[in-house]
Structure formats: structure tokens, C-alpha cells
Structure 1
């Protein structure tokens, strides 16, 4: 296979447990390396995708397969990165976004926002043909604190951090397309608003670049059809997790967490799964999904959840009056609506209550709502607390922070399709070959 028929090669920065990478790999791209600072999240990524049984990265021999920061990569392996310039077609990344989140303080001086600068430094060094940045909806919202905003952006003409990042990328030679999407529009059973920045290195002036973000939106119907998912409605919570109900099922010791004293319900393998469940069960080899450990709720907690289910309007967070009625100060508690997509899955397990059982969701149920297939195995501890909360990335956090793989897959298809066109127009050779069944439907182009 010559250089023109190799699949599009990507690097994933701020990779988390691998949601973006998984979608790109399923689209037919080839992973090269991934950077993630959390050892727990990196182990999940390595186990499934870097050295997995379904996917493997073409990992550089000079780069350790271990957790590291983007700063570590640039400082310790700068010379090697210079040596692979031109061999990476796509860099993707979702820099830590808590400083932009509408659910948080939206502090423009949050040091986590500065990690975007490391991403930009890596882009400048490798100069890939394509870039994808995924972030929270608040990434494009104007900060209220104008003084801190100006300090961060160093240019008052930018209304948001997204404007600043777009300007920097344009200075580096990229045409930038961006916008907001709801993941539920692409088959994910979850109302999760994400801000996408899709970029392509500028070519000849006489060949304008098509709007990659609009190509993503136009490709929605073809993508859903190719996945046998509904086009005119959203995938529902019940479609995603009803096979994981525990009522009436025997309970056995949970063994995949390494902690004694926890149970999981026996899983009945669906004989003829359809639609979304069929997608989640694909390639699972008839095995039960992991990460089904049930929480050890106290009796009082179970009664509390029953009260929440009784007074909460399914699909909506508890109101101030409802919180006062049941005596809780927790601001974000939502009971799932069985026939609608879920609210945004967060890193806090008790933000969401099951639609018919008085409990929080299991890691696997959250993963289903994020569109992780059952063959994907999460590694490490389930939860953490105390001082470790800010340092560690247990399974619930890995899932909550992830990019939904289905959204990532349609992004991968769009970039693959555009790369085929660019390759053909530039006369570099034959268009890319991708794995059978994973090529972008022609209607997206």
C-alpha cells in the first residue's frame, strides 16, 4: 500500500478515555498517537484503542505509551515531532473546558483554558491538513468579566474565547468553520450541546474550501440511515438502556472493579437487538457488557430517590420549590424521561436518576447514553472523592468527559470525504481507501 492509499492519520490531544478516537477509528481513520494526562483515562484508551483487539494505533517507537500532558510532549519530544511533520493529516482535541462551561463559573482566567495554547503550539509544529476542536457550548459565549477577558485574549475585538482561537488558527493558515450541535441529532440518546471547530489548511485561492461544518449538518440523514437509526425522531433513553434494568434479576458479585461488596445484575443477552441497541451490542461477541456495578444505596437514599421520582417532571431538573420540598440543596437533579433523550451526562453520578428504578445509573448505562458500544471496556476505579476528586479520573468521570463516539464518527466521515477530494484535486494520487462499510455515503459530499 503506497502513501496515497493509506487511511487518514490522526493524533488525539486531550484524548480522555478515547471517545473522539473511537469515532474516528470507526469512520476508517488511523490513529498515530494520543495525549492524555490522566493515567486512569489513558489506560482505558490504551486498552481499547491503542492496543485493542478491534483497533490499534500506529504508535511511534520514540513515544512512551503512558499518560502525559501536551506540555510534556512538546518539551520532551520536540525534535521527534519535527521529524513527523507532514505525516499527521488530522489533529483532534477537546482541551479541558470547565472554564467555559455554562454549568460552572465561566472564569476566563481559569488555568485550564490555557491548555488550548498547548494545542495551538502542537498544531503549529505539525501543521496537519485538518483540525477538529470539540468543546462545551459556553466556549463561544461572551464572558461577563470584561477585564479578565481582555487579559486572556489580549485583544478586545474578540467577543469570546472561540473567536480568539479561530483567529489564531487563521493566522496559522487554516480556514475555520464552527458552530453548535446537539449530539442527539446524530443518534446519541442525549441532549448534549457541543461547540465544534473544523479547520482545513488553506490551499490555492482559486479553489475555495467548502464549509466543513455545513457538510457535517448536511450529512446527518445519510449517517443515521447508514446506522439504521431513526431520522425523524431522537433515540430515546429506553431504547438505549432498557435491557440494563435490574428489577427482578438475580444479583451477583461485581468483579471488574477490584472492590468487594458490590453487586451487579445478571445480564440477559438480547437475541435479536434492533436499532440503537443493535449498534451498541455490535462486536461484543455475545458477552455481557462490563462496568455494570450497582451503587450501594442506603435505605434512606433509596427512599429519597423515590420521592424525587414522584415529584420531578421526567426530563427536567428539580425546581427550587421541589428541592425545598424534599429537603435537598443539590442544584442539578434530573429524573430520566424514558421516551426522550437524556439530559447531558456529567461527571457526577447523582445528577441523573433512573426513569423507573430508585437509583443512579451505572457506568455502563451512562456509557450507553454517550454511545460507547458494549465491547468498549472502562478501566480503573469507579468513583473517587475528597482531595482526589480534582486529581483522578475514575470511570464515571471518564464517561462524563468523553466526546460521544457517534458524533466523532460522523466528523471522521466528513474529514475523510474532504481529504479524498483534496487529494484528487491536488493530483497527489488515487483517493483514499477506507475499510469496507465505513466510507462516507456519497450524499454527504
Structure 2
């Protein structure tokens, strides 16, 4: 690793990523010109993916500190073990990024204040206090902006958790800006809206550069320029077909999966000439091989028939209705058959939340990764799925992709923050 990386004026703006997952936010910031310092992620599979693509690469994406071995670690243990080292970096880091686990805030979940995952934001605040970075970047689900209704004290039942976090950051010397952002506006081919918070130290020149505007106003003003720089249309969102049309099974030769920990699965023999679009060209830029994680699901015949019935009789592009669920005998609450001409529904950690637009199957990990704007050179590691007692603790490939911040959006906002911080 290059220990002189910070001497380069082109890479003087540094970031660290807490709750880094498989690296979507880090990848986007790197593509925007930021230099990584360290990343914190506790799940071994997710860290394996992050490490293989961004940390151990020969590209010096991270100028990793010698005191922190690159390995998975829980954020609480990280804070306890390295408090002194973190305090030694006070004021030296430009940007601290982090997407604290969102499940406790998700509208699809129980949303209780006592969910232990919600407490991880407190560890993030501790790290902020130790490092005092110039800028903070937080991403979370829309439910982060709503008050808790269950098992909460009176304040948390009345006040959105986002407001409480903003109050804490303002108390330690940051000015905050927040917004619910539609990622489809920035080339992400799915209907995915997320809470984004940017905080800037009260005495930082970034506030002067903003000149009364918010980072989000600048982001919106730069939207068309960003999309054009990527070869994408500015008037219409990227459709599902334009994102994954080259990964269809139809007319493809099937071969044994070459990266499945479990034998007996098939994958397509990838053919880049089968279908293309500006988005696919962007995802495949500089990469001529077959992407990994294209293992096809192995559905039972009964499941295939049910999926076909959904595709034939339900509205494509919309979550199937309660009436359709009852008519088809489906217990699952949320399942969406995709419309090839529209963006995808939000990619989640559950593979069967979304059905392919023309084939009676769930999407592959790579298809989900495309919808999340991971380039084809980015390789996912670990198991594909996890069941049974390991479901709540493991982070297989589908989960890694579903939890990630789309790199393309991270790059868009990363460019704005880099310009402001320069």
C-alpha cells in the first residue's frame, strides 16, 4: 500500500466509510476522486467483497493505516479498540461516510425504538466526535425520518430519529442539510428513495462556498451534466430492460455456474453482443469478460408456474395487490413483476421481492447489482443466500447488494462534495 498517497495534491481529500457493507458508497466516492483511508464492516462476506475489490487492489483506493488490520470488525469493538488512534486523526479526515444499518427504521419492518440496530448510529456519532471530519455523509431509508410508534419513550414517539441525530450533530458543531432523494434521477434504474444527510463543520470554508445554497440544490443543478458525462439520457430514467437486457436467459447457452459454493447451478454463457444500451456500456466500461454472480435460481416447477401466473395476470411494474395475492394463493406481502420499460422496484435483500420482466424467475445477484449500478468488474464474494438460523447474522451476496448505496448516486454526490471541499 502506498504510504505516501496523501502527499499527492490530487488525492488530498480523504474519506472513511463506516458500516461500509460491500463497498457501494466507497466505490462511488473513489470514482468521484476521493482517497480512502479505512472502512469498517462487521460481516465477513461483505468485508470479503469490499476487500477484494477496493482495499487489497493494486489501485491504492485506500491508504490503509498500519494500526488497523484489514478485517471485519463490529463498529462498537472498533470504537473501543481504536479510540486513541481515532483521536490522533482528529481534524485530518475530510469526509466521514456511513450508512448505519437501516432495518430498524424500515417501513417494511417492525420499527421499534428498542431495535438494537438503531443504537449503531450512536457509535457513528462517537466516531464523529473523535475524528471531527470536515464533512459527514449519511444515507438511510425513508423511515429514518419518521417517529417510532412501538416501545419508544415519549420523545421518540413524537420526534423522527433523523431529527434527533441532526440535533446531536449540531450540538457538536455541525451544520446539517438533509433530503429524501430519488436515485432514479441520477441514473439508477430503480425506484429507490433514500434519506441523505450532509453535515459540515461550522467553521469550514465549505459553508462559504455553498453561498446560501444547500448541497442538494447544487446536486440537482448538476444532474444533467452528470448524466451526460455517463452517456445517459437526461429526460427519462433508465429502464429495467436497458439495465439487464443482456443477461436474459432466452437464446443463451447455459453452462455450470463457475462461482457457486453449491454445485448443480447453471449460468448463462455471457454474450455482450446479445443486447446493449448506454447504461450497459457504462456498466461494462473497460471490462471485456463475463461478470461474476450470474448464477441462475433453481426454482421448482410449481414456483415457475406461480411466477408465470403473476406475470400473465398482474400489473407489471407494481407490487401485486391484496386481491391478486388472495386469487393466486400467495402469502408473501411484497412481490413485484417488473415492467421492462420502467425502472425496477426497489432492490431489497430478499431475492423473491422482484420477478424478472419476461422470464418466470427471480433476478440473479448480478442483475440486482446492475440495478444498483455496480460495474461488471466488481466481484461479489461469499454465499449467494443464507437460510435457517443464519439468516439474521449472515450477509450473503443478495443481502450485500440489497443493502448497498448505489455507486452511481454516491459518485454524483461525491463529485459535489469534492468540489465544495477543494
User: TM-score, normalised to structure 2's length?
Assistant: 0.94
Give the superposition deviation at 1:269: 2.1
SS in 2 for 1:178: strand
2:401 corresponds in structure 1 to: 399
Aligned to 2:173: 173
Count of residue correspondences:
414
1:433 corresponding residue in structure 2: none
Query: Deviation digits for residues 21-45 of structure 1, max 9, x if unmatched?
Result: 0000000101110000100000000
The yes-or-no answer on 1:105 pairing with 2:113 is no
The residue aligned with 2:3 is none
| Structure 1 contact 353–360 (Cα < 8 Å) conserved | yes
**Deviations, residues 193-236 of structure 1 (Å, cap 9, x unaligned):** 10000011112799466411222222211111111111111000
Question: Does residue 215 in structure 1 map to residue 221 in structure 2?
Answer: no
User: In the alignment, is the contact (CA less than 8 A) between 2:15 and 2:97 conserved in 1?
Assistant: yes
* Displacement of 1:277: 0.8
Once the 2 structures are TM-superposed, how far is the Cα of residue 5 of structure 1 from its aligned partner? 4.5
Structure 1 position 240 matched with structure 2 position 243: yes
Contact 2:231-2:278 within 8 A present in 1 as well:
yes
Summarize the alignment of residues 207-286 of structure 1 with structure 2, pairs less than 5 Å apart: 207=208, 210-270=213-273, 273-284=276-287, 286=288
Match of 2:412 in 1: 410
Residues 159-207 of structure 1, C-alpha deviations (whole Å, 9 max, x = no match): 2000000011111111100010111010000000100000111127994
Matched, 1:376 2:378: yes
Secondary structure of the equivalent of 1:390?
Answer: coil
* Residues in 1 aligned to 2:381 and 2:135: alpha-carbon distance in whole angstroms: 31
CA contact (8 A) 2:105 2:111 kept: yes
Deviation, 1:389, is 0.2
Instruction: Give the whole-Å Cα distance in 1 for the aligned partners of 2:69 and 2:375.
Output: 27
Cα distance, 1:45–1:271 mapped onto 2, change above 3 Å = same
Question: Is this contact kept in 2: 1:199–1:212, CA < 8 A?
Answer: no
1:54-75: CA deviation from partner (whole Å, max 9, x where unpaired): 5531100110110001111111
Residue 156 of structure 2 corresponds to residue 159 of structure 1: no
Gaps of 5+ in 1: 421-445
| Cα deviation, residue 81, structure 1 | 1.3
For residues 68 and 209 of structure 1, do their structure 2 counterparts lie closer, same or farther at Cα, with a shift above 3 Å needed?
Answer: farther
Flag the 1:218–1:387 CA change in 2: closer, same or farther, 3 A: same
Give the equivalent residue in structure 2 for 1:23: 28
Compare 66-75 and 20-29 and name the one that shifted more: 66-75
Rounded Cα–Cα distance in structure 1 between residues aligned with 2:383 and 2:39: 22
Look up the SS of the partner of 1:115 in the other structure: helix
SS in 2 for 1:199: strand
Runs of 4 or more above 3 Å deviation: 1-7, 204-210, 270-274
Return the alpha-carbon distance in structure 2 between the equivalents of residues 287 and 5 of structure 1: 31
The alpha carbon displacement at 1:300 in A equals: 1.1
Q: Verify: 1:150 aligned to 2:150, yes or no.
A: no
Partner residue in 2 for 1:319 = 321
Q: Report the 3-state secondary structure (helix = DSSP H, G, I; strand = E; otherwise coil) of the residue aligned with 2:138.
A: strand
Give the counterpart of 2:303 among 291, 301, 305.
301
Equivalents in 1 of 2:202, 2:11: separation in Å?
A: 22
- Equivalent pair of 1:312/1:334 in contact (CA under 8 Å): no
Any idea what the Cα deviations from partners look like across 1:317-336, whole Å, max 9, x if unmatched? 11111011111110011000
Q: CA deviation at 1:100?
A: 1.0
Q: Distance in 2 between matches of 1:260 and 1:271?
A: 27
- Given candidates 62, 66, 85, the residue that maps to 1:80 is 85
Distance 2:204 2:12 in 1: 24
Q: Which residue of 2 aligns with 1:44?
A: 49
Partners in 1 of 2:97 and 2:124 — Cα distance?
9
User: Structure 1 residues 361-370 or 219-228, which shifts more?
Assistant: 219-228
Aligned pair in 2 of structure 1 residues 350, 54: CA closer, same or farther (>3 Å)? Answer: farther
Equivalent of residue 331 in structure 1, options 326, 330, 333: 333
Distance in 2, Cα, partners of 1:219 & 1:181: 14
Structure 2 contact 245–276 (Cα < 8 Å) conserved: no
Mapping 1:112-131, distance limit 5 Å: 112-131=117-136
- Partners of 1:308 and 1:335 within 8 A in 2: yes
Cα distance in structure 1, aligned partners of 2:60 and 2:172? 32
Deviation per residue, 1:338-383 (Å, 9 max, x gap): 0000010011101111000011000000000000000000000100
Q: Which of 62, 65, 74 is matched with 2:70 structurally?
A: 65
* Structure 1 residues 369 and 149: alpha-carbon distance in aligned structure 2, compared to 1, 3 A threshold: farther
Residue 435 of structure 1 corresponds to which residue in structure 2?
A: none
Following superposition of structure 1 onto structure 2, how do residues 332-351 of structure 1 map, counting pairs within 5 Å? 332-351=334-353
Does structure 1 conserve the Cα–Cα contact (< 8 Å) formed by 2:246 and 2:274?
no
Aligned to 1:442: none
Q: Could you say what secondary structure the match of 1:148 adopts?
A: coil
